[in-house]
A and B are shown apart, each in its own frame.
Chain A
């Protein structure tokens, strides 16, 4: 290559490098200078929307959009989920609790200025029921809504429904959704941005971010924040770094490895938000009569022995690093009122000696001295297939601990790893012994309780039900039916407690620990971060996400004066160094050329 060419290539490469590094300062300045007066909250998330369409989406991130965009007839209090007025300012019970007549607030408007009337409410309830909308029909399946006048709507349930008068279905605008044909509803893009909540969707850049604007027509008044930007990270550690750098104001789903110590950093508060999510060790109860579960697991003594053999405190300390709580019985709601107190003396606390004794007395003894017990009739050893989720971050440490605990009481395991789809099929076909998975409950306990009724047991592998404990109890079913139609809340709570004690005693499902939603936010830009429920819940991505409306900007907090920051200064220094270095290389190479020519 001639010297002239080499100088040219050197210049091009140096130019590219310099250009890239030069943007270190420029990019930041540009970003900071845009929309200085607009109050923007930037939320870091690791999950993009699946779709903003409320009839089709199912991810947590999408629920956050709907919580903000679509108000409901009744709301849930931030502190304790108590029912509060929302679009409806009042309601009156009728027909012995089978119907409620709701009166809407006066002057309600959609964000596009159209009036919000009882017609919108009736349209949402009746259409979602008829078309079985994914996020509505579990509530509206038995409901019928009749418009009395513009501000009054009567909702009647065909069966006693203890959830009433709570009406937390997202009310959608009829003038937007009405013209969408039934066959097109689930594929409607739903980027119209018309809503009645505090914020409405302005744009969604798939894989990057979505932006929501304050709704000036919001019935509680215009929010103090003008814009919320949800920024999608595919690298959770980068999201934490962005919070530390002040690029974002809030981080959702902080990895546990980064969580410890994060709250001690200046200007950052960490939140340990519990919403009732838990992980369980499930055993094959063989209620469906299909598959090939180990016969020992049908014996309640074996299940109790396994329960006694597992050190939940060790799992809590070593797997989720103490970020949650050790599990007791099934968690059916983020609202702790639904959880029964199980006295310690009734709990299957960790006691390997007691587990050994239970197994010995039931006739499961190790006759061949290989360390593994056999069935009482000697037909087979107590070696269980342990199914592990490949998609779980905690699968490996949980497996190591649990298989170790079982081995200590003479129970062997073989480990099979499945992705979630495969595991669903394996469980549905009954071809498993043990597996570890988890659930996150809704606020009302009914859905979680329903999963363990007999009609949710899988009897045909082609029609998989929810009951992955593969356990069936007439007593439990009777209690479920009773709570499902019990209109007296206190009595209903008692029934639910009774169900959970029964479920706990049966031990087909051993709740290992309740995990938490780890969050963190900056304290130097906004005040008003509110947990739902108080003291234990998360601040954002909670059940109804009240925080956004309550946030107030701190004067001057986190502002960027647009001047040269540290980044820009370092950029200039590095740029100069690169220029000097590049120049030196070019000079040296030119000299070398001359040498060659000479």
Chain B
């Protein structure tokens, strides 16, 4: 891979990120320019107190003055202070990021493993009962809205059967530590994780099946069979490694969306992650939180894209060598 290729990709990613910084800043202000009015309606504040709040929130200058201040702070690593909690945005995001990574990361991993396995088997035995059944199932999970599935699962397992908690990261106010706390958190994570895993796996299964169908017709597989290799070996050693490439890039890109991917499910299961933090910030609107969150979401996707680009450069010399 040539250095010029790498530098080009990195510069491209950085310029996209800079674009995102600009858009994020102005986009939220187009929707609502004065959070003080909407956040403090009904509070017994004088006009002078509201002006004072605008000064505290750095909302008293022109938009471009505010933007310049934002960029200056951003370059020094400061994302600002949340208008609602008055805590640093980095602290707020730092607390919410791990529950999201745990939940969406686990669900994405599970759905990848299960979805790819289903896709391989379905594609290899086209039109078999397993293929028909699993394709129908995959199409269903791919198309079903995750919030609807979440409500169903919550209603069945929490309300009707009462075997899982109705939400949260752990029992509220628990003093448990160590393995007890871990079990408690697993108990709370099981349902949202199940919903997300089901919601995600259809895509993996469908893409993997499609890729397998393309690969199955390749001549080199006939050659492998002609050499006397067993069917499972043909599939494992020759078909899957070639068919799995599109799914690898899909997986890498999807991991970029892990941070932003579960607003509805987090909301239904009261999961204190980034999705919930986003909803809360939109209600303000809490500009610094929104800017910080969307910068993080965008950066994750951009970094994942960059990783895929560079990975392709490594895997396929024709790409990196040009």
Contacts and interface: CB of A to CB of B under 8 A. Distances in A.
Contacts of B34: 421, 424-425
A211 B193 contact: no
Contact of A419 (B38, B81, B95): B38
Contacts of A13: 110, 113-114
A229 B164 CA distance: 19
Q: Which of B187, B273, B280 has the most CB of A within 10 A?
A: B187
Given A232-B270, A238-B158, A421 B38 contact: yes
B184 interface: yes
Contact of A422 (B32, B81, B184, B269): B32
B168 interface: yes
A42 B155 CA distance: 21
Contacts of A24: 163-164, 187, 190
Given A53-B86, A571-B163, A5 B236 contact: yes
A442 B154 CA distance: 38
Interface in B24-50: 31-35, 37-45, 47-49
Contacts of A570: 161, 163
Contacts of B268: 234-235, 238
B230 A596 contact: yes
A513 to B, nearest CB: 17
A593 interface: yes
Contacts of B38: 419-421, 424
Interface string A438-453: 0110100001000000
A420 B41 CA distance: 9
A234 B272 CA distance: 9
B81 A21 contact: no
B172 A208 contact: yes
B163 to A, nearest CB: 4
A51 interface: yes
Interface string B218-234: 00000000000011110
A442 B280 CA distance: 25
Contacts of A424: 34, 37-38, 41
Contact of B232 (A34, A422, A597): A597
Interface stretch (A25-33, A82-90, A308-316): A25-33
Main secondary structure of the interface of B (DSSP, over half): helix
A391 B284 CA distance: 11
Contacts of B315: none
Nearest to A241: B159
A206 B92 contact: yes
A473 interface: no
A30 B166 CA distance: 16
Contact of B270 (A23, A56, A132, A233): A233
A232 B32 CA distance: 27
Give the contact-size bracket for chain A. Answer: 35 or more
B186 A132 contact: no
A58 interface: yes
Contacts, number: 211
Interface string B160-176: 01111111111111111
A19 interface: yes
A180 interface: no
Contacts of A567: 161-163
A132 B285 CA distance: 23
A585 to B, nearest CB: 12
A597 B194 CA distance: 35
Interface residues of B, number: 82
Given A23-B187, A440-B42, A231 B168 contact: yes
B158 A241 contact: yes
Interface string A580-598: 0000000000000100110
A235 B277 contact: no
Interface string B238-271: 0010000000000000000000000000111110
Q: Which of A34, A53, A566, A570 has the most CB of B within 10 A?
A: A34
Nearest to B42: A439
A342 interface: no
Nearest to A59: B84
A27 B85 contact: no
Interface in B97-126: 110, 113-114, 117, 120
Nearest to B191: A20
Contact of B37 (A26, A40, A241, A421): A421
Interface stretch (A107-115, A242-250, A356-364): A242-250
A479 B275 CA distance: 50
B152 interface: no
A420 B33 CA distance: 11
Interface string A224-242: 0001011111110011011
B4 interface: no
Contacts of A232: 168, 270, 272
A132 B214 CA distance: 71
Interface of A: 1-3, 5, 9, 12-13, 16, 19-21, 23-28, 30-31, 34-35, 40, 42, 48-51, 53, 56, 58, 132, 134, 137-138, 186-187, 189, 205-209, 211, 227, 229-235, 238-239, 241-242, 244-245, 247, 391, 419-422, 424-425, 428, 439-440, 442, 447, 463-465, 566-567, 570-571, 574, 593, 596-597
21 contacts: A1-B120, A16-B110, A20-B194, A21-B190, A24-B187, A30-B176, A42-B173, A58-B40, A138-B45, A206-B96, A207-B276, A211-B173, A241-B159, A242-B167, A245-B162, A247-B165, A419-B38, A421-B32, A439-B42, A464-B37, A566-B163
